[in-house]
A and B are shown apart, each in its own frame.
Chain A
Amino acid sequence: MRQLLQTTLLLIATIFASYLSAETLTVVIDNVETADGFVMLRILQGEAEFKGEREAITSIQQRAVEGSITFSVSNLPDGEYAIQVMHDRNGNGKLDSNFVGIPSEPWAFSNNATGNMGPPKWDEVKFALTGEATQSIHFNH
């Protein structure tokens, strides 16, 4: 994980490459509070990935910059997706949380879904990608 964080600016899984209809998804996070650590983006395909039952296929990170940060993900086939973003401030490769599981680092989901008891539901975070698309996301602190 450490290696992963320190290496690339962009890491995109390529298993979608075989699809003919490939689209570009742009994700803009507009409220990165500090330049500490990394901002990590996961593209989740299907509820199983969202629930953590299956590892997310696409995972990208950038060095954090204060203010706004943009990810562009190309070659995504049409389909139903969700996005999870976290600000890994201390660079330990995970979203830190306290001993009852309340996150202590900024996090967000697509559609800016926040949920109101535990996490948001798949229906609240999912979106259909059928062309070029942009998701504007705000971190929850």
Chain B
Amino acid sequence: MTDMKDRIRETIEGNDVVLYMKGTKTMPQCGFSSRVAGVLNYMGVEYQDVNVLADEEIRQGIKEFSDWPTIPQLYVKGEFVGGCDIVTEMTLSGELDELFDKKGVAYSKEAAEKIREANA
């Protein structure tokens, strides 16, 4: 578990944005993972995807690491943001934009606005 924690820490500290998900950003294998990856893809955010289905140890490890029982899990600059419900809420409220602004993560504001318009 210590090794696993080190691996996770390396990943989330070595990449500005990391999404632990089922499947990959180009081929998600779960509706919830797909939704978060879709938001990040659409907003043009550069991120590292980690497919938990490819590694059972990571799948269990990330749940313990984050103290969070479900996948997907989004990390920004080493900080846990949340899962699908929270990322969706933050996208629609504009809090995700604020977080990216604050953390210096590049994204398309225009795309974010389009998501909000489509869900208004």
Do A and B originate from a single complex?
A: no
